[in-house]
Structure 1
Amino acid sequence: MGESPDTMDDYMRMSERTARESLYTLSRGVVETFGDMYLRKPSLHDLQELYAAHEERHGFPGMIGTWKGQYASGHHRSPSLVLEAVASQDLWIWHAFFGVAGSNNDVNVLDQSPIFDDLLNGKAPDAPFMVNGNEYKYGYYLTDGIYLQYSTFVKAFHHPVEERDKIFKRRQEGARKDV
């Protein structure tokens, strides 16, 4: 989470060394157990399966996943923890970021995401899909309004007026709630 191990001394009631060793052991176990399956970039086959699953469930062709972020506990009025995730229908987490709210907003978190490194560097795999007879080269993510204007982000309308825009906003927000 970008925190030093000694920040957890009081909260976890353990020494800095024990906290560091425990975190290392847990991380190593997760990587050894799940690394081959889940700690890899999606293949073209993976992306095509995601397209099919999201289109069947939500009606959005070419959708890779949804971005969801910021958590506010019941006694805080504003977000107290940032938990951003992109997950598929089988709970394959493509991206996760945990941190304290404040300077960690959606844009800062995106800058730290390995998901978009390849896309921004022109190295993302082509994963074409068709909509209304038009072929698109890359899939997209459903997001809220703060994200940058990338072609891979589809945002909901802020104040939809037309009925079709209202329907899209409801369906888009419903899909984002799955995360």
Structure 2
Amino acid sequence: MDSTKHIEFLKAFDSDDDVEFVDTFFNVVQHIHDEESSNAARTRAVVNRDRQAAHDLLVRDYFADNCLYNDDSFERRFRLNKAIFLRISNALESRYDFFKRKPDARGRMSFSSIQKCAAALRYLGYGIAFDASDEYLKVSERTAVECVDWFSACVYEVFHEEYLRKPTQRDIERLYSAHEERHGFPGILGSLDCTHVAWEKCPTAWRGQFTRGDIAGSNNDLNVLGHSPLFNDILTGKAPDLTFTVNGHAYKYNYCLGDGIYPNYSTLTKAYSVPRSGKAMFFTKKQESARKDMERAFGVLKQS
């Protein structure tokens, strides 16, 4: 309302209290109007992202026959082997509409599956801001959040039955062969260790399950071992019987390498705390060298 009409409106009241009230009312209305105008002016302009150009650039950089960056560069930057990345991307695209390229309401083609998976892996691998990949992948913050949500849920739904399960007899045989070839330990499943990763939003009911009571927030390898279905099966005699032979002795159950915190189980092979003989020194060196693979893996995960 302009000033002339404002004054005429005030003349209709007799008392000073009424005039003061109406004057205050108009000031409030004017303030709200000014804020709305200011907010409208600050509204972000639409960014016309060239999705197709970003897709073509990603293909030229990593997926073309003569791509710019090799497979090692891809694995280092995306924290994932390129063949595995493509397997995941193709599986998600074939099963879920979110990862399929289709026109949106304005007729523009949506992001490709490799763009969405790459955006999700960039965030999961580095913990960067959701819009940090906007300049390269042309994925906005809102879309990046959706990519991470869909990627995490769909990868679990598609692959959990195959990989989040107990190892089968064939799996164990392959692990035997791979670890013996790499580390020289026959009948080994791998290394056993645990690490502490702070979970900011951990549910209250779950707090303290994997920490020691004497030192708040410390690791508890023993508690983690007690929650392992694999070792529970070994202790109860339900593990698969895959006999292997070492130095002429036959052993029924497989074993893992561990450090000094673990108990003296026959299925846990620990290094000598104070090796004295040449054989003990050689074994301790080999055992600790093989166990470093697990610690390096934890280091990569904690950096992520």
Q: How does 1:37-56 map to 2 (within 5 A)?
A: 37-56=162-181
Q: 1:57 to 1:29 in 2, by over 3 A?
A: same
Assess if the C-alpha contact under 8 Å between 2:190 and 2:256 holds in 1. Answer: yes
Query: 1:139 & 1:152 partners in 2: Cα distance?
Result: 6
Q: CA deviation at 1:112?
A: 1.5
Residue 283 of structure 2, aligned match among 157, 168, 173: 168
Assess if the C-alpha contact under 8 Å between 2:271 and 2:287 holds in 1. Answer: yes
Please give the secondary structure, in 1, of the residue aligned with 2:238.
Answer: coil
Q: Does 1:178 align with 2:303?
A: no
Please give the secondary structure, in 2, of the residue aligned with 1:135.
Answer: strand
Q: Deviations over 1:11-40 (max 9, x none)?
A: xxxxxxxxxxxx997764343122132012
Q: How does 1:42-121 map to 2 (within 5 A)?
A: 42-70=167-195, 81=197, 102=217, 104-121=219-236
Supply the RMSD in Å over aligned alpha carbons.
Answer: 2.9
Unaligned regions of 5+ residues in structure 2, if any?
A: 1-147, 199-209, 295-304
Q: Percent same amino acid at aligned positions?
A: 52
Q: 1:27 to 1:126 in 2, by over 3 A?
A: farther
Q: CA deviation at 1:103?
A: 5.4
Count of aligned pairs between the two proteins:
136
Q: 1:149 to 1:26 in 2, by over 3 A?
A: farther
**TM-score, normalising length: structure 1:** 0.66
Q: 1:25 to 1:115 in 2, by over 3 A?
A: farther
Q: 2:161 — aligned with what? A: 36
More contact order relative to length (CA 8 Å, sep ≥ 6): 1
Q: CA deviation at 1:150?
A: 1.3
**TM-score, normalising length: structure 2:** 0.40
Query: 1:154 & 1:141 partners in 2: Cα distance?
Result: 6
Query: 1:47 & 1:112 partners in 2: Cα distance?
Result: 20
Please give the secondary structure, in 1, of the residue aligned with 2:192.
Answer: strand
Tell me which amino acid in the other structure corresponds to 2:244. Answer: F
Q: CA deviation at 1:165?
A: 0.5
Tell me which amino acid in the other structure corresponds to 2:223. Answer: N
Please give the secondary structure, in 2, of the residue aligned with 1:115.
Answer: helix
Q: Which structure has the bigger radius of gyration? A: 2
Q: CA deviation at 1:135?
A: 1.1
Q: Deviations over 1:39-97 (max 9, x none)?
A: 12111111111111111111101111101333xxxxxxxxx648xxxxxxxxxxxxxxx
As a proportion of its length, which structure holds more strand? 1
As a proportion of its length, which structure holds more helix? 2
Assess if the C-alpha contact under 8 Å between 2:175 and 2:189 holds in 1. Answer: yes
Q: 2:253 — aligned with what? A: 138
Tell me which amino acid in the other structure corresponds to 1:61. Answer: P
Tell me which amino acid in the other structure corresponds to 2:265. Answer: Y
Unaligned regions of 5+ residues in structure 1, if any?
A: 1-22, 71-79, 83-98
